[in-house]
Structure 1
Amino acid sequence: MIVAFSVAPSGADSVDADGGMSEAVAAAVRVVRESGVSHQTTAMFTYLEGEWDEVMAVVKAATDAVAALAPRVSLVLKADIRPGFDDQLTAKVERVDRHLE
């Protein structure tokens, strides 16, 4: 399964000195990177690939990391549940790229 998720702090107390949310987002990304789950991070979403329980545990831990720094948390999640398919984070992009060649 692939999960695309975005977790962000909400509330005046969660804004960095520069007006952004990078400290809280970094806390979530740290959880993802330390999890050992296959992942990609982009400007707006983080993608995880693995089994349901391991992926959802990382989403929960990342959300909890943001919640430790903010009074409110927003979570957006989209999942592609396709048993029997692995390494799709790159394979899906490669299939599209073949059509573009």
Structure 2
Amino acid sequence: MVLLEFQISPRTDGDSVSALVAQAIDIVDRSGLPYQLTPMGTILEGEWDETFAVVKACFDHLRATGCSRIGVHLKVDWRDGPSGRLQAKTAKVEQVLGRKLKT
């Protein structure tokens, strides 16, 4: 099972890319994979091929919209075992601390 964190940065004319980022997040949401959206990126949970397929779909979509440059940062944590780590990792830290975190 993979936790894959990615940040995709489309480059276009102007400062705001929120509309393009929203289109990428729509692809993530429609993928059916568990995910967590953060201010600095998105975390996907699933098998290797399916998580990378979502990133590729986002890239391909942005490229098709005419983006002249796209930056992608990836961080992957693969572990043999069950799903559910997206929430379980945070829950474990909260258990050790003995309190709910402000996430």
**TM-score of the pair, normalised by structure 1:** 0.89
The corresponding residue for 1:42 is 38
| Contact 1:4 1:46 survives alignment (8 Å) | yes
Question: Cα distance, 1:9 vs. partner?
Answer: 0.7
The corresponding residue for 1:66 is 62
Gaps of 5+ in 1: none
- Count of aligned pairs: 96
The residue correspondences of 1:7-86 to structure 2 (distance < 5 A) are 7-12=8-13, 15=14, 19-69=15-65, 70-86=67-83
2: distance between equivalents of 1:22 and 1:31? 14
DSSP-derived class of the 1:80 partner:
strand
Question: Cα distance, 1:100 vs. partner?
Answer: 1.6
DSSP-derived class of the 2:86 partner:
helix
**TM-score of the pair, normalised by structure 2:** 0.87
1: distance between equivalents of 2:97 and 2:7? 29
DSSP-derived class of the 1:63 partner:
helix
1: distance between equivalents of 2:37 and 2:59? 15
1: distance between equivalents of 2:17 and 2:76? 24
Question: Cα distance, 1:4 vs. partner?
Answer: 0.1
DSSP-derived class of the 2:53 partner:
helix
Gaps of 5+ in 2: 99-103
Q: Which amino acid aligns with 1:87?
A: G
Question: Cα distance, 1:10 vs. partner?
Answer: 1.6
- How large is the RMSD of aligned CA atoms in angstroms? 1.1
- Percent sequence identity is 40
